[in-house]
Structure 1
Amino acid sequence: MPQGDSNGSSTQHAAPTNTTRRVPTPGKATILAIGKAFPSQIIPQECLVEGYIRDTKCVDAYIKEKLERLCKNTTVKTRYTVMSKEILDKYPELATEGSPTIKQKLEIANPAVVEMATKASLCCIKEWGRPAEDITHIVYVSSSEIRLPGGDLYLANELGLRSDVGRVMLYFLGCYGGVTGLRVAKDIAENNPGSRVLVTTSETTILGFRPPNKARPYDLVGAALFGDGAAAVIVGANPMVGQESPFMELSYAVQKFLPDTHSVIDGRLSEEGINFKLGRDLPQKIEENIEDFCRKLMAKSSVKEFNDLFWAVHPGGPAILNKLESSLKLSTDKLECSRKALMDYGNVSSNTIFYVMEYMREYLKDDGEEWGLGLAFGPGITFEGILLRSL
C-alpha cells in the first residue's frame, strides 16, 4: 500500500494568538485547540476492493461485485488503516474464517490506538501553546481496545502528564463517542475552575477484520466505509487572553436514546473479534426523530431556522446525511464539512466529528454563522448533540 504522513495532517496552524471574533461567555467551556493523527497506511478507495479480496483470499465473485458497488456508494475517496501486509504475514489466521483471533487483534489494536492518540494529542498540545503539565483532566474515548488499565493511563504516561491528572475512560460508545467526550469535558471544565481537559479519541477497525461471508453482509459495509485514526481537542472555560485561542464554545449539551431501538445497531464481542449488525432502518429512525432533538438544542439560542445554523454532523454514511438534509430542508452547503470528512477519511467512528469540526473552523473564519449544532448518532439508537457557538 502507498505510505501516508504519519499524522495525516495537511493543515498547519501558527502558534495561538488572540484572534477571537466573538467574546467567550464567562464560565462556558470552549475548544482551545484541535489535532489529529493517522496510521501510515493510506488506502485510495479505488484500490480497496482488490486489496481486501487479496488479503482475505476471497474467491467469491458475488462478494467482490457487491463490495465494488458499496465502495462507490459510500462517497469515500481515501482512508487510513493500521492493517498492513506485515501484520497479515505475522498473523495469517486473521484471514481465516472462524479463527479465534481476539487475542491477536488486541495485541495489535491496544498499542496502535495509544500511539495514534499520543500523536493527535501532541499535535493538539502544540497548537494550544501551553505545556502538557497544565492539562488537569483526560477524557479518553475508544471502541477499539480492551485492557486494564486502559489507554487513558498509557496516554498520560506517554505525554508526561502529572500523576494527579483526572482520568475518564469512555469505552464502546461507537460513533457518538466523540460528542459524548465533549459533553463530559464541558461538565468538567465548567465545574472545575482553571481546568484544562484533553479529549482524545482513537479508533482502529482491527477488531472487526475478518474474511467476508454472505451470512454477514454488514462486514462488507464496514470494509467499504470505516477507517482508522485519532483526534484530540483541549477544552477549558475562561480562556487566557493572549495565550489561548478559543474557536468554538460548548453552549448546551443533550443526549437522548430512542426506546426499543437497541437492536438497530448491534455489536457483540466474540473469540473472533467484534461483530456488527446494522439495521436498514437506521437512517429512517434518525429522520423520524431528528427535528425534535435539534429544536431542543436550538431553544437555548436565538436562532429559529435550521438554515441559519452551521452544522457539524458525524457522517455515519451518505444515507444518514441525505436523510438529515432532506428532512430538515437544509441548503446543500450546510453538510459540506461532514461530506468532506467522510470523503477524506471515511467513517472513523468517534473521531470523525473532530475532523468535521476542523473543517468547520476554516469554513467559519469568514464571517460564518454564530450558532450551530454538533450531532452524532450511534448504538442505542443514541443521539448526542451540542449547541455550538463560533468564536
Structure 2
Amino acid sequence: MAPTVAEIRKAQRAEGPATILGIGTANPPNCVEQSTYPDFYFRITNSEHMTELKKKFKRMCENSMIKKRYMYLTEEILKENPNMCAYMAPSLDVRQDMVVVEVPKLGKEAAAKAIKDWGQPKSKITHLIFCTTSGVDMPGADYQLTKLLGLRPHVKRFMMYQ
C-alpha cells in the first residue's frame, strides 16, 4: 500500500529543531590587502593615469571596513585574458566559464572541512547549504558540489547568493 501524504511529510521531518552540525569555508587562493587594492586594480586595468579617480577609489577602500579581498583572478590570468581588464570589452563569458568550474571546487574544499568538523560519513548528510557571491549557471554550484562529493541525489540543497 502506498504511503499517505502525512506519512511522507513525517518521514521528511527531523525530530527536534534543525541543527547545523558542521561548517566549512573556503576562499580563492589570491588575497589582496584592501590597502593595496586600488594600486592593484588601477595597474591591471591600465588606468594609473586616472589619478583623481584613483584617489576617490582609495578613499572608498579605506572607509569600507574590508581588510582583505580574496579572488580567483591573478595578474597572470588577467594578462592571458586582456578583455577582462579593458573598458567595454567582452569579458563576461570568460569570467562565467571560470566561475562555473572554480566555485564548485571551492565548495568541495569547504565541504571537506565541514564534514571533518561534523565527524560523520557523507552518507548521513541530509541537507547542504551553499553560499556564494558568484552563481552564474543552472543547475548551480550546489548541484555540482553534490556530484563532486558523491552525495545521494535526494540530499536537500539550499543555495544562497549574496
| TM-score bucket (shorter structure) | 0.7 to 0.9
| 2:18 maps to amino acid | A
Question: Structure 2 length as normaliser, TM-score?
Answer: 0.81
Corresponding residue number in structure 2 for 1:53: 42
Question: How has the CA–CA distance of structure 1 residues 29 and 166 changed in structure 2, closer, same or farther, with 3 Å as cutoff?
Answer: closer
Once residues 77 and 168 of structure 1 are traced to their aligned partners in structure 2, the CA distance between those partners, rounded to angstroms, is: 29
What SS does the corresponding residue of 2:123 show, helix, strand or coil? helix
Question: How has the CA–CA distance of structure 1 residues 100 and 159 changed in structure 2, closer, same or farther, with 3 Å as cutoff?
Answer: same
Deviates more, 1:121-130 or 1:32-41: 32-41
What is the CA-CA distance between 1:62 and the residue it aligns to?
0.9
What is the CA-CA distance between 1:41 and the residue it aligns to?
0.8
Which of 139, 142, 147 does residue 152 from structure 1 map onto?
142
Which of 70, 73, 83 does residue 63 from structure 2 map onto?
73
Corresponding residue number in structure 1 for 2:76: 86
Corresponding residue number in structure 2 for 1:380: none
What is the CA-CA distance between 1:68 and the residue it aligns to?
1.2
Give a deviation string over 1:111-150, Cα, whole Å, max 9, x none. 1211111111110110000011111232334341222322
The answer as to 2:102 corresponding to 1:109 is no
Q: Which of the two has greater strand per residue?
A: 1
Corresponding residue number in structure 2 for 1:41: 30
Once residues 34 and 132 of structure 2 are traced to their aligned partners in structure 1, the CA distance between those partners, rounded to angstroms, is: 25
Which of 92, 106, 122 does residue 112 from structure 2 map onto?
122
Question: How has the CA–CA distance of structure 1 residues 143 and 48 changed in structure 2, closer, same or farther, with 3 Å as cutoff?
Answer: closer
Rg larger in structure: 2
Which of 121, 127, 130 does residue 137 from structure 1 map onto?
127
What is the CA-CA distance between 1:72 and the residue it aligns to?
1.3
What is the CA-CA distance between 1:94 and the residue it aligns to?
0.7
The root-mean-square deviation of aligned C-alpha atoms, in Å, is 1.8
Q: Percent identity?
A: 33
| 1:108 maps to amino acid | M
What is the CA-CA distance between 1:164 and the residue it aligns to?
3.0
Once residues 70 and 115 of structure 1 are traced to their aligned partners in structure 2, the CA distance between those partners, rounded to angstroms, is: 32
Question: How has the CA–CA distance of structure 1 residues 140 and 160 changed in structure 2, closer, same or farther, with 3 Å as cutoff?
Answer: same
Once residues 146 and 163 of structure 1 are traced to their aligned partners in structure 2, the CA distance between those partners, rounded to angstroms, is: 21
Once residues 97 and 124 of structure 2 are traced to their aligned partners in structure 1, the CA distance between those partners, rounded to angstroms, is: 32
What is the CA-CA distance between 1:46 and the residue it aligns to?
2.1
Once residues 71 and 142 of structure 1 are traced to their aligned partners in structure 2, the CA distance between those partners, rounded to angstroms, is: 22
What SS does the corresponding residue of 1:29 show, helix, strand or coil? coil
| 1:35 maps to amino acid | G
Corresponding residue number in structure 2 for 1:62: 52
Once residues 79 and 101 of structure 1 are traced to their aligned partners in structure 2, the CA distance between those partners, rounded to angstroms, is: 21
Once residues 135 and 67 of structure 1 are traced to their aligned partners in structure 2, the CA distance between those partners, rounded to angstroms, is: 44
Once residues 51 and 64 of structure 2 are traced to their aligned partners in structure 1, the CA distance between those partners, rounded to angstroms, is: 20
Which sections of structure 2, spanning at least 5 residues, go unmatched?
A: 1-14
What is the CA-CA distance between 1:35 and the residue it aligns to?
1.5
Once residues 106 and 116 of structure 2 are traced to their aligned partners in structure 1, the CA distance between those partners, rounded to angstroms, is: 16
Question: How has the CA–CA distance of structure 1 residues 143 and 40 changed in structure 2, closer, same or farther, with 3 Å as cutoff?
Answer: closer
Once residues 60 and 155 of structure 1 are traced to their aligned partners in structure 2, the CA distance between those partners, rounded to angstroms, is: 42
Q: Which of the two has greater helix per residue?
A: 2
Which of 151, 161, 175 does residue 151 from structure 2 map onto?
161
Matches within 5 A, 1:344-383: none
Matches within 5 A, 1:193-272: none
